[in-house]
Amino acid sequence: MITEPAIIVNQVAQLEKDILENLYSIQGKSRDLATTNDWYMAVAYTVRNRLMKNWIDTLHGLMDKEVKLVGYLSAEFLVGPHLGNALINLGIYDEVKEATQRLGLDLRQLMDIEEEPGLGNGGLGRLAACFIDSLTTLKVPAIGYGIRYEFGLFEQQIRDGWQFEVTDKWLRFGNPWEIARTELSFTVKIGGHTEHYTDEMGLYSARWIPEIEVKGVAYDTPVPGYQNNKVNFLRLWKSEAIESFDFEAFNRGDYSKAVDEKVYSENIGKVLYPNDEPLAGRRLRLSQQYFFVSCSIQDVLRLHELRGLPIDQLPDSMALQLNDTHPSIAVAELMRILIDEKQVDWDRAWRITKNTFAYTNHTLLPEALEKWPLSLFASLLPRHLEIIYEINSRSLAEVKSLYPGDDHIARSLSIIDEEGEKYVRMAHLACVGSHMVNGVSDLHADLLKKDVMRDFYNMTPEKFIGITNGVTPRRWLKLYSPGLSSLISDKIGEGWLTHMEDEIIKLEPLADDPAFQQKWQETKRTYKNELSIQVSRMSGVRIDPASMFDVMVKRIHEYKRQHLNVFHIIHLYNRIKKNPGLDIVPRTFIFGGKAAPGYHMAKLIIKLIHSVGEVVNNDGDVDGRLKVIFFPDFNVKSSEWVYRSADLSEQISTAGKEASGTGNMKFSMNGALTIGTMDGANIEIMDAAGKENFFLFGLTVEDIQALRKTGYRPFDLYQNDEDLREIIDRLQSGEFSRGDKHLFKPLVDSLLGNDPYFVLQDFHSYADCQQNISNAFLDRSHWTRMSILNVARMGKFSSDRSIREYCNKIWNVKPSY
Ligand code: 26Q
């Protein structure tokens, strides 16, 4: 018999005792009455308590004026389920498993009922979560500032192949991971007008008389580092009504005003906006952004004062990172507080502001660059608009001295867009108000410099850098792929979990080791079996775990080109229909992702995937060799099943459109091979993995520019290319749409009309590449070698590396590891 070390036995016994105690004292339940959720809550509180000491130490540490603090301002934090992550990072997974077992519980089942906080749309929100994880693991004190949305991104349901949105009520069963700091709240002004006056010192001053005031209450959520006794936290603001305001109106008998204000205040933090939605009616979105920014800046200044530092030292004691333009009103807010409330003069205030902020851009799509109609801006933030005008006029004065007489450049650099209806351009505000601007991959940074922010770059080239995104190997490998992780750790130790860049490369020599290859294949196969069971449970479709799992999970968008993938499926289907005896490598195509509720084309693409699946999955000629699956409600939690089971990762955006991508990294880290374009971080993944271990296809950014110049005529491709014609004709025949010839017309019209994302152009290169992949898949040993090499060479894509770069190049703080 193996005897367990006494300390572990004790720890397990203590855990068991604590779980029971929490069940009793917090959930108010006995063992006999407890529901699964009660048990989950009891376990969650037990685990949270084990973070408490380190968390409180961090709070004390915030007062240490010697240590520079990072504030990460982000409208989204897509953290994913907490329990599993906390167990891994505390290093008590096995002990809690054992303790729950002793209580007759199944830890896995408890983890499965955790509601995921879906407080993000996708890449940008998840990046913020990985970054806070890495900051803590690298022992950099940091606060993630954001919004405590009552409803996260909608839950996706599929009915008859169409997406339906259901409210995400993530808080309905309680949230054991947050602490409401009700005593920590700030007042935020909104609307109204400004007044100008000369103060008692004879200084010209401004006063903002708001229309209403809203209260923001801090809710803190711990973010544990990886087995290092450090805990940072997210500080998310909940919007509430200010009671006294209600009463004033109430006492005047103006009941409806009292109620309106309460409703308005509470609405501010209600719901996370999906991206890719039309701009109209976004008053609430701008209020949201300002609301959380104002609370956060007030909190930052409070901390700075608590540290007993003079205001001019703010840039030395805090680095504030703007996660895209969503929090960029912070530039004007800090200026406003410094000037109007702290009587700092303009030049000093500007120096402080600029040296404190840095801005990360996440998009090259011109239509996705945030801009607000001037009239809307003026009605919500009248004082900020005045400040922005002043910032703009000073900035343009500099521009004009550098480029005398060049009106064009002044117009292009102005924060105010004056062509047609006037707008405030938030990217310009963020750029002017920051000391550094970064893109999220090499290519993206390059295109920012050459294209989107060219004139800014020419003026201050030293301000622009690229920091390639990364993902945390703790969640994306250790937690979600425990089998592969143990296999790795058994061979090279556990150093890769915190020093991925230097350590995981040690796997390389094992790529050709037959015994290791076999274990690798078995592990991947176990995951594929599990996903197959999951899929048949969810959708009733049986899939073959021996087939190639060809996976595309990401938000649905035309630039990401899910429809290019579908075209390849239809192409294979056509080939089988012509020749049912065709020798073909069996594939399971797995899609997942949400479409913005108002983005009709994206919703039609979801319908297309289902429609093609319905036909292909049930066609006798296909005989199960092709299966098409749509994985509904893809999110962090359900992604656990997906990344680790993939053989092939689809990263097929139009070159120049995907800023970086981070799913591409998660797949590759989990041993999937990539079919990808020269876009975003794909290029760097290919460089790291080796060209021979990556399947590249499609036009480059330069090719596309050249083609645009000479004139791109997708209709000619349709006419002259038999394969494309057969695909599109089949789509138009109604065969995939139960006879409805018009269902996919908007999609076909767009492709034949101008095909803005070059789907038809790239089709052949894509299909040829897919054929190579099928051939490669047949050589199991070689495929496995490529898979192992991909993992071994992904060290660069740990978010720890990204954060180290932010520390060195932007924040001037010292990470330790
Ligand atoms: C803006 C205004 C109003 C309402 C919503 C929005 C909004 C919200 C979220 C706009 C954009 C987003 C999210 C963008 C995003 O996720 N971008 C992705 O960021 C990743 C991390 O850098 C990159 O890897 C992806 O390439 C990029 O698409």
Res 587 pLDDT > 70: yes
Q: Give the residue among 45, 19, 174, 10 at the shortest CA–CA distance from 104.
A: 19
- Rounded to an integer, the average pLDDT of 561-589 is 98
Please report the pLDDT score of residue 262 as a whole number: 87
| Site to substitute for ligand 1 among 119, 271, 275, most atoms within 8 A of C-beta | 275
Res 6 pLDDT > 90: no
Maximal C-alpha separation, the chain: 92
* Residue 386 CA, ligand 1 centroid: distance in Å: 28
Angle between the 759-778 and 780-792 helix axes, to the nearest 10 degrees?
110
**Candidate from 143-147, 391-395, 536-540 with smallest mean pLDDT:** 536-540
Q: Give the residue among 260, 331, 347 at the shortest CA–CA distance from 293.
A: 331
Query: Which atom in ligand 1 lies closest to the alpha carbon of residue 681?
Result: 24
Please report the pLDDT score of residue 246 as a whole number: 64
Residue whose Cα lies nearest atom 17 of ligand 1: it is: 124
* Residue 330 CA, ligand 1 centroid: distance in Å: 18
In contact, 83 and 43? CB cutoff 8 Å = yes
Helix-strand-coil percent breakdown of the chain, rounded to 5?
Answer: 55, 15, 30
795 pLDDT band, cuts 50/70/90, is very high
| 379, amino acid identity | S
Q: Tell me: the pLDDT tens digits for 736-787?
A: 999 999 999 999 999 999 999 999 999 999 999 999 999 999 999 999 999 9
The overall average pLDDT reported for the chain is 96
| 603, amino acid identity | K
Query: Which atom in ligand 1 lies closest to the alpha carbon of residue 279?
Result: 3
Phi, psi of 30, deg, nearest 5: -95, 170
| Site to substitute for ligand 1 among 74, 124, 469, most atoms within 8 A of C-beta | 124
Q: Tell me: the pLDDT tens digits for 371-396?
A: 999 999 999 999 999 999 999 999 99
Query: Which atom in ligand 1 lies closest to the alpha carbon of residue 122?
Result: 16
Q: Is the shortest distance between the CB of 658 and ligand 1 below 6 Å?
A: yes
* Residue 324 CA, ligand 1 centroid: distance in Å: 8
State whether residue 149 is helix, strand or coil: coil
State whether residue 815 is helix, strand or coil: coil
d(CA 652, CA 787): 19
- Rounded to an integer, the average pLDDT of 678-685 is 98
Q: Is the shortest distance between the CB of 288 and ligand 1 below 6 Å?
A: no
Name residues whose C-beta falls within 8 Å of residue 557's C-beta, 6 or more positions apart in sequence: 276, 599, 602
Res 243 pLDDT > 90: no
Q: Give the residue among 517, 494, 518, 492 at the shortest CA–CA distance from 507.
A: 492
Name residues whose C-beta falls within 8 Å of residue 309's C-beta, 6 or more positions apart in sequence: 65, 317
In contact, 289 and 272? CB cutoff 8 Å = no
**CA-based angle 295:297:303, to the nearest 5?**
100
Q: Give the residue among 581, 772, 786, 554 at the shortest CA–CA distance from 661.
A: 554
What are the residues facing 592 on neighbouring strands? 553, 631
Res 708 pLDDT > 90: yes
**Candidate from 1-15, 39-53, 79-93, 315-329 with smallest mean pLDDT:** 1-15
In contact, 174 and 154? CB cutoff 8 Å = no
User: Exposed (0-12), middle (13-18) or buried (19+): which is 418, by Cβ within 10 Å?
Assistant: exposed
* Residue 272 CA, ligand 1 centroid: distance in Å: 13
Q: Is the shortest distance between the CB of 559 and ligand 1 below 6 Å?
A: no
Res 260 pLDDT > 90: no
Q: Is the shortest distance between the CB of 417 and ligand 1 below 6 Å?
A: no
Please report the pLDDT score of residue 816 as a whole number: 77
- Rounded to an integer, the average pLDDT of 608-620 is 98
d(CA 343, CA 533): 65
* CATH code of domain 65-80+116-468+804-811: 3.40.50.2000
Please report the pLDDT score of residue 507 as a whole number: 98
* Residue 468 CA, ligand 1 centroid: distance in Å: 15
State whether residue 695 is helix, strand or coil: strand
Q: How many CA atoms lie within 13 A of 233 on its CB side?
A: 24
In contact, 675 and 652? CB cutoff 8 Å = yes
Strand spans (E) along 603-690: 626-631, 648-651, 673-676
Name residues whose C-beta falls within 8 Å of residue 343's C-beta, 6 or more positions apart in sequence: 203
d(CA 523, CA 529): 10
Report which of residues 774 and 419 the model is more confident about: 774
155 pLDDT band, cuts 50/70/90, is very high
d(CA 352, CA 355): 5
Q: Is the shortest distance between the CB of 440 and ligand 1 below 6 Å?
A: yes
Q: Is the shortest distance between the CB of 140 and ligand 1 below 6 Å?
A: no
**Candidate from 273-282, 484-493, 533-542 with smallest mean pLDDT:** 273-282
Residue whose Cα lies nearest atom 11 of ligand 1: it is: 275
**What are the helix (H) ranges across 618-700?**
636-643, 663-669, 682-689
Res 2 pLDDT > 60: no
In contact, 180 and 236? CB cutoff 8 Å = no
Report which of residues 24 and 205 the model is more confident about: 24
- Rounded to an integer, the average pLDDT of 247-271 is 82
Q: Tell me: the pLDDT tens digits for 552-566?
A: 999 999 999 999 999
Please report the pLDDT score of residue 41 as a whole number: 98
Please report the pLDDT score of residue 377 as a whole number: 97
* Residue 343 CA, ligand 1 centroid: distance in Å: 36
Strand-strand pairing, 231-241 and 142-147:
parallel
With pLDDT > 70 as the criterion, what percentage of the chain qualifies? 98
Residue whose Cα lies nearest atom 19 of ligand 1: it is: 124
Q: pTM of the prediction?
A: 0.97
Domain ranges of the chain: 65-80+116-468+804-811, 473-797
Q: Is the shortest distance between the CB of 660 and ligand 1 below 6 Å?
A: yes
Please report the pLDDT score of residue 239 as a whole number: 98
d(CA 190, CA 260): 14
Please report the pLDDT score of residue 815 as a whole number: 86
With pLDDT > 90 as the criterion, what percentage of the chain qualifies? 92
632: left (phi over 0), alpha (psi -120 to 50) or beta: beta
CATH T-level fold of 473-797: Rossmann fold (3.40.50)
Q: Tell me: the pLDDT tens digits for 447-473?
A: 999 999 999 999 999 999 999 999 999
Torsion of Cα atoms, 747 then 748 then 751 then 756, to 10°: -20
What are the residues facing 318 on neighbouring strands? 69
| 703, amino acid identity | D
| 38, amino acid identity | D
- Rounded to an integer, the average pLDDT of 324-328 is 98
| Site to substitute for ligand 1 among 363, 424, 803, most atoms within 8 A of C-beta | 363
- Rounded to an integer, the average pLDDT of 49-62 is 93
Please report the pLDDT score of residue 282 as a whole number: 86
d(CA 558, CA 563): 8
- How far from 383 is each of 187, 206, 562, CA to CA, in Å? 16, 8, 44
Please report the pLDDT score of residue 60 as a whole number: 92
Q: Is the shortest distance between the CB of 273 and ligand 1 below 6 Å?
A: yes
Query: Which atom in ligand 1 lies closest to the alpha carbon of residue 680?
Result: 26
Res 1 pLDDT > 60: no
Please report the pLDDT score of residue 3 as a whole number: 58
* Residue 685 CA, ligand 1 centroid: distance in Å: 21
* Residue 124 CA, ligand 1 centroid: distance in Å: 5
Please report the pLDDT score of residue 275 as a whole number: 87
Res 254 pLDDT > 70: yes
Q: Is the shortest distance between the CB of 370 and ligand 1 below 6 Å?
A: yes
Phi, psi of 474, deg, nearest 5: -65, -55
Catalytic machinery residues:
362, 554-555, 560, 662, 666
Q: Is the shortest distance between the CB of 123 and ligand 1 below 6 Å?
A: yes
Instruction: Decide if 65-80+116-468+804-811 and 473-797 have a common fold.
Output: yes
* Residue 446 CA, ligand 1 centroid: distance in Å: 19
d(CA 695, CA 777): 12
